[in-house]
Structure 1
Amino acid sequence: MKTEGGKRIVIVGASAAGLTAAETLRRRGWDGHLTLIGDEARPPYDRPPLSKQILTGAWEPQRTTLRAPQELARLEIDLRLGRPATGLDVKRRQARLAGGATIDFDGLIIATGVIPRRLPHGDLNGVHVLRTLDDALALRAALLTGPRVVVVGAGFLGTEVAAAAQTMGLEVTLVEPEPVPVRRPFGDRVGALVAALHRDHGTDLRCGVPVRGLCEGGGRVTGVELADGSGLPADAVVLALGSTPATDWLTGSGLTLANGVVCDALCRAAPGIYAAGDVASWHNPRFGTRMRLEHRMNATEQAMAAAGNLLGDAQPFAPVPYFWTDQYDTKIQAYGIFPPDAELRIIDGDPADGHFTAAYGRHEVVVGVLGWNAPRQVRAVRNLVVERAPWTTSTDTSALLPVPVN
């Protein structure tokens, strides 16, 4: 098959995006040499269950594995696990690995994901981050000792971890410098509902106050000091402070790096070099803006697009972002984008009843829809975003909503 990538394609990053790129190349008929590089020794696995099913023990670790060994073998790939990439030479078309080995390539897909942010002294015993399966297993082992838990950061990850710890019967405090949880993606109104959800389940929620630092004794964390001078005793602290793109290994490579690997609408960072997943910053022509998404569905869709464009498709990647979070008995699903200046309107159901859908509008256009325990309804109104429906449309969506079944 003729391809922009020549006869040697290398994929750096062996999580969902990297694996999907490899599968897409083979499915599309690519029969050249294919190398998949991963910094973890484990075969590719899924990350969303880590903060939920793995922490609570509902799943055994092996259930997160994305493909069985025989399925990986059928891909006929040179699988380099536990060998992180340490450098890239765009001109020589070479990737460097830990230990000094180099791999030549004609085509490259970068899917190295992100790295969790930490606080100073974040390496104390009892301080955890959650990105890898090993992180999740270590945190679960700590939670099984019945500690007082402080979760720092109330975005999706922090609220999911707090919910998991709470369902395990632990004493949980959730700290967030913003006035409400998940404010950045969803705004104050939905954030207030998430705050109420956690308080109703017994979580001590401290919003609107930043963390000043961690307290320690004998090399172990003993608590969290807040900016207002108060302290929170803790036996375990989980840092859910967001992430930074894993691009340090690309410094000096010649690629443009700015909040990720900067790509065009084709997910192309340079001729024959593409990026996908959490690490990719690309121009989404559907919304006319640059994006970098840390969502599971985007990892799959963007990897397919990057692989296809490496094979010569030349198709802009213009998705409607889709993401979700599960907390306690609540599922929040969202399609589109949610700018901080967007207007919110409830279009079906009632927040007081725990089931509703909402639309977000900006510049007189629907740019996002959200469902709170309303999976059928939110799928039905997704087209408001796809079609860039006028904001006035969100006042009458009865024709779009499913007919109730008695």
Structure 2
Amino acid sequence: MTALDRAGRVVIVGTGVAGATAAQGLRGGGFTGTITLVGDEAEAPYRRPVLSKDLLAGKTDIVRAGLKPVAYWAEQHIDLRVGETVIDIDPSARTVALGDGGVLGYDALVLATGGRPRMLPGVSSPRVHHLRRHADVPALRGRLREGSSLLVIGGGLIGSEVASTARELGCAVTVLEAADRPLARLVPAPVGAALAGLHREAGVDLHTGVALAGVEAGPDTVTAIAVDGRRWRADAAVVAIGTVPNTELGARAGAAIDNGIVVDELLRTTVDGVFAIGDVASVPNTVLGGRYRGEHWNTAQDHGTAVARSLLGAGSPFDVVPWAWSNQFGRGIQVAGWPEADDELLVRGSIDERDFTALCRRDGRIVGAITMGRPKDTRTARMLIGRGGVVAAEALLDPHTDLAALAS
């Protein structure tokens, strides 16, 4: 499509950081038309990463977690509609149907529908929790008190952060992970082993390589049962085994779906006038080739900025190297790029001392990085990944080598 008329109509479905940033970017870019930001959550846009950290720990509340003061959206003439569901799209008429029977017309539609927690089949109980949105927090927070016990099923980013928060609150925590290490999708084996040590030292009963046969929820406890017969019981459980992208609206509109809503380098779907961003978007990997779906806050924010530029006719191929961060047991962990388990790992610093930059090299080029205690290296590593080209291992391992100089 051509650049959007600056007095046109934009509907953004999803009030997470991707959708909210898109709305802000449009206004900041001089768009004077109508912007309607629609989301099924009851709250104004908020910082989702605090769900498993400060919000769950009771250190902040949803007002302080807001992306902007609630009045901001009206001041920017952004029609924020919370607690509203979009149920259908008519791309030929360029309208969306709302759950309350209303209809919104659009010149451009942005789908920022995110994802939902992956469920364990046949498991439903008030003692079995998921953590994806603010509405999930109060019930789980009520379970986390000193002396209580918690099962965490899944040792990924959310599961690991929930475990850290629960231990901080004095809970006995057991983590069950199917892979051989925590954060197996994000970090290579040596880094995963260090994270496992971090959890165990903090008192987490961590079990890896667990194949679950099922979960039984009674009136007072939850029991996880492994295929090999082992059992773990706790007062409550959190299931954190990944997310499923909310592609249904895109599919109804006729957009191509492939592990997300397929978009091009300008974040356009295969349907004219419809864009997709954030966790739901399957984007071209302009650095390594192929496609990927970023499921992290920073990527969603970058998508929002990029799609606003695309809508205003100032877009360029989306080539931002993704990165994510996590805080666990007082340690900051950052992951950049696309690391894989079988990459060559070049470590600056010491993984054992939890002060390191681990660079993942594939066919001579840097494709990913993990840092602990060295946040400044993450930005430099992203530059190295985006630049491409072969980098000698000797230079990368030499502590006297200035990574920023290499990246430039």
TM-score of the alignment, normalized to the shorter chain, above 0.5: yes
Spell out, residue by residue over 1:82-121, the C-alpha distance to the aligned partner (whole angstroms, 9 max, x if none).
1111111222211111123221111011111110011123
Q: Is the 8 A contact 1:272 1:310 kept in 2?
A: no
The 1:78–1:60 alpha-carbon spacing in structure 2 relative to 1, beyond 3 Å, is closer
Q: Which residue of the partner structure matches residue 76 of structure 1?
A: 77
Bigger Cα displacement from structure 2, 152-161 vs 3-12? 3-12
Q: Which residue of the partner structure matches residue 266 of structure 2?
A: 266
Q: Which residue of the partner structure matches residue 379 of structure 1?
A: 379
Report deviation, 1:383.
Answer: 3.0
In structure 2, stretches of 5+ residues that fail to align are none
The 1:325–1:85 alpha-carbon spacing in structure 2 relative to 1, beyond 3 Å, is same
Report deviation, 1:133.
Answer: 0.9
Q: Which residue of the partner structure matches residue 181 of structure 1?
A: 182
| TM-score w.r.t. length of structure 2 | 0.93
The CA distance in 2 between the partners of 1:274 and 1:287, in whole Å, is 23
Spell out, residue by residue over 1:353-374, the C-alpha distance to the aligned partner (whole angstroms, 9 max, x if none).
2211110011211111221111
Q: Which residue of the partner structure matches residue 402 of structure 2?
A: 400
The CA distance in 2 between the partners of 1:322 and 1:222, in whole Å, is 35
The CA distance in 2 between the partners of 1:108 and 1:38, in whole Å, is 14
3-state SS of paired residue (2:138): helix
Equivalent residue letter for 1:184: R
Q: Is the 8 A contact 1:278 1:292 kept in 2?
A: yes
The 1:338–1:378 alpha-carbon spacing in structure 2 relative to 1, beyond 3 Å, is same
The CA distance in 1 between the partners of 2:380 and 2:174, in whole Å, is 37
Q: Is the 8 A contact 1:6 1:106 kept in 2?
A: no
Q: Is the 8 A contact 1:87 1:251 kept in 2?
A: no
Equivalent residue letter for 2:102: A
Bigger Cα displacement from structure 2, 28-37 vs 332-341? 332-341
Spell out, residue by residue over 1:339-366, the C-alpha distance to the aligned partner (whole angstroms, 9 max, x if none).
33311110x2112222111100112111
The CA distance in 1 between the partners of 2:398 and 2:70, in whole Å, is 51
Equivalences for 1:7-406 in 2 at 5 Å? 7-144=8-145, 146-218=147-219, 221-269=221-269, 270-346=271-347, 348-392=348-392, 393-396=395-398, 398-400=400-402
Q: Is the 8 A contact 1:124 1:221 kept in 2?
A: no
Q: Is the 8 A contact 1:225 1:232 kept in 2?
A: yes
Equivalent residue letter for 1:275: A
The CA distance in 1 between the partners of 2:313 and 2:3, in whole Å, is 8
3-state SS of paired residue (1:26): helix
Equivalent residue letter for 1:258: D
Any runs of at least 4 consecutive aligned residues in structure 1 with deviations exceeding 4 A, and if so which?
A: none
Identity %: 37
Equivalent residue letter for 2:258: A
| TM-score w.r.t. length of structure 1 | 0.94
The CA distance in 2 between the partners of 1:162 and 1:364, in whole Å, is 37
Q: Is the 8 A contact 2:343 2:361 kept in 1?
A: yes
Bigger Cα displacement from structure 2, 374-383 vs 271-280? 374-383
Bigger Cα displacement from structure 2, 89-98 vs 149-158? 89-98
Equivalent residue letter for 1:359: L
Equivalent residue letter for 1:398: H
Equivalent residue letter for 1:214: V
The 1:145–1:122 alpha-carbon spacing in structure 2 relative to 1, beyond 3 Å, is farther
The CA distance in 1 between the partners of 2:359 and 2:144, in whole Å, is 38
Equivalent residue letter for 2:321: V
Report deviation, 1:253.
Answer: 1.7
Report deviation, 1:6.
Answer: 7.0
- CA-atom RMSD in angstroms: 2.0
3-state SS of paired residue (2:369): strand
3-state SS of paired residue (1:297): helix
Report deviation, 1:139.
Answer: 0.9
The CA distance in 1 between the partners of 2:14 and 2:78, in whole Å, is 13
Q: Is the 8 A contact 1:380 1:400 kept in 2?
A: no
The CA distance in 1 between the partners of 2:217 and 2:397, in whole Å, is 54
The CA distance in 2 between the partners of 1:145 and 1:90, in whole Å, is 53
In structure 1, stretches of 5+ residues that fail to align are none
The CA distance in 2 between the partners of 1:306 and 1:397, in whole Å, is 39
Report deviation, 1:376.
Answer: 2.8
Q: Is the 8 A contact 2:123 2:216 kept in 1?
A: no
Equivalent residue letter for 2:177: E
Bigger Cα displacement from structure 2, 315-324 vs 3-12? 3-12
The 1:5–1:243 alpha-carbon spacing in structure 2 relative to 1, beyond 3 Å, is farther
Report deviation, 1:305.
Answer: 0.6
3-state SS of paired residue (2:186): helix
The CA distance in 2 between the partners of 1:397 and 1:105, in whole Å, is 55
3-state SS of paired residue (1:141): helix
Q: Is the 8 A contact 1:4 1:272 kept in 2?
A: no
Equivalent residue letter for 1:125: P
The CA distance in 1 between the partners of 2:307 and 2:5, in whole Å, is 12
Report deviation, 1:247.
Answer: 1.7
The CA distance in 1 between the partners of 2:3 and 2:211, in whole Å, is 54
The CA distance in 2 between the partners of 1:223 and 1:324, in whole Å, is 31
The 1:145–1:99 alpha-carbon spacing in structure 2 relative to 1, beyond 3 Å, is farther
